[in-house]
Structure 1
Amino acid sequence: MDDPGFHHSVLADFRVRLGQDGRADRLLDLTRARLKEAGLVRERTTQHTDSTHVLAAVRDLARLELVTDAVRAVLKESCQHC
């Protein structure tokens, strides 16, 4: 919890390095090759994604956050009256 995370300049530096000498294209090609080897994508076909499960998970997290905020507000209000 005390970890400050990474400094924003690290991401900027990485982006600059990735843009040099076609590294981004090579990384994408390597990723695509690994996905093909694993049988996750096929050659020359249309790939479809379904984000329904992702949207449902986000909706559930949003609802949980609302409930958590409501409980926190009630607890804060009740503690002020003690």
Structure 2
Amino acid sequence: MEKDSKTTVAVERTTFAKLDRLAKANSVSKMEYITHAINYFEKYGINPVEHESPAQEMQKLIKRMDQVFAFLKKQETDLVRPAC
């Protein structure tokens, strides 16, 4: 079995500085950090190019759930009559 060969990727200095800071903060090498980040994006279907933040997506989901609960509450008051 052949070992994985390594390669280099050119990035801007500011991007390299961010990568260095993030890798150090997580106590991993830059290579490990990039590997984990790519695996994370792939596993969860996140496309970082679209710039959708997870917080925005959560807000959309919460809003939709609130709509469903409001619908159920309305149905309950309209259709379920208290037994008297």
Greater helix share, 1 or 2? 1
Give the structure-1-normalised TM-score: 0.38
RCO greater where, 1 or 2, for CA within 8 Å and sep 6 or more? 2
Greater Rg by CA: 2
